[in-house]
């Protein structure tokens, strides 16, 4: 433990972890995951070197908690997440485009004559962008690892953000588009790994760690922040 902005908890991994990672839980606890035999003084230096980052994340977390706990109102000024960042909603007579909802200049812009359809328009927008973003990331990772899916589909699943069928077709929820890129990549690599390992056995997790050594960091983020990926 250490005095300062926050105390921290150490989790020593018995798996072949090579680096230390720092995570902040939903209730504001700092968790440092380390290789099994990392000295205490080295862990403490690692913690102190990230005090500024921790303070920034804790402040941002407080704001996200408020956003994530309130029911959606779909009104001007309300923030909606895209790739991990919140963007406020603006309602205008014209957003300068033929589409009723666009993301432009740091805001979601909704045509004023479409306010009764706001939720449906957001779902449509997320779906369309999900096809592009997930398609690009699947292509990148599948090419890198030589794991080729038979297809990609977009779903509306809640909390089952990805899946891989027996025939190696991958499915991803458009809700995942609200998460940061590293989390999206984790889910994509996770499902690509199922092309080789169809279950969640020890072999699967070891294989996934070989593909993405820091996957636990992204998995933890998703577990702690899934309440943000809602509409």
Q: pLDDT digits over 165-213, tens only?
A: 999 999 999 999 999 999 999 999 999 999 999 999 999 999 999 999 9
Q: What pTM does this model have?
A: 0.71
Mean pLDDT of 149-164: 94
Q: What pLDDT digit, counting tens, does each position of 5-55 carry?
A: 568 888 887 666 668 888 877 667 888 888 888 899 999 999 989 888 888
List C-alpha distances in Å: 136 to 45, 132, 142, 192.
38, 6, 10, 14
Pairing of strands 85-92, 30-35: unpaired
Query: What is d(CA 196, CA 207) in angstroms, rounded to the nearest whole number?
Result: 9
b/e per residue 39-53 (b: at least 16 CB within 10 A) = eeeebeebbeebeee
**Domains present along the chain, CATH in parentheses:** 1-70 (no CATH), 120-228 (3.30.2010.10)
Mean pLDDT of 135-143: 97
Dump the DSSP string for 192-206: HHTTT--S-SHHHHH
Q: What pLDDT digit, counting tens, does each position of 80-136 carry?
A: 999 999 999 999 876 566 789 999 889 999 999 899 999 999 999 999 999 999 999
């Amino acid at each position: 433990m250490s005095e300062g902005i926050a105390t921290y908890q150490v989790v020593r991994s018995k798996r072949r972890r090579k680096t230390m990672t720092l995570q902040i839980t939903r209730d504001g606890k700092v968790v440092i995951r380390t290789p099994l035999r990392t000295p205490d003084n080295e862990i403490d230096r690692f913690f102190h070197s990230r005090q500024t980052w921790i303070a920034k994340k804790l402040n941002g977390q407080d704001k996200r908690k408020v956003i994530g706990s309130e029911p959606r109102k779909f009104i001007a000024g309300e923030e909606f997440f895209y790739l991990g960042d919140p963007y406020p909603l603006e309602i205008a007579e014209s957003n300068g485009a033929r589409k009723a909802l666009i993301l432009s200049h740091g805001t979601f812009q909704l045509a004023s004559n479409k306010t009764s359809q706001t939720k449906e328009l957001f779902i449509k927008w997320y779906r369309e962008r999900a096809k592009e973003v997930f398609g690009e990331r699947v292509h990148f990772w599948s090419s890198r690892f030589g794991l080729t899916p038979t297809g990609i589909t977009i779903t509306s699943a809640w909390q089952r953000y990805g899946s891989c069928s027996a025939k190696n077709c991958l499915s991803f929820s458009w809700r995942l588009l609200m998460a940061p890129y590293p989390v999206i990549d984790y889910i994509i690599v996770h499902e690509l790994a199922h092309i080789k390992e169809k279950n969640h056995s020890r072999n699967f997790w070891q294989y996934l760690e070989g593909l993405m050594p820091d996957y636990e960091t992204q998995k933890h983020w998703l577990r702690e922040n899934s309440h943000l990926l809602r509409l």
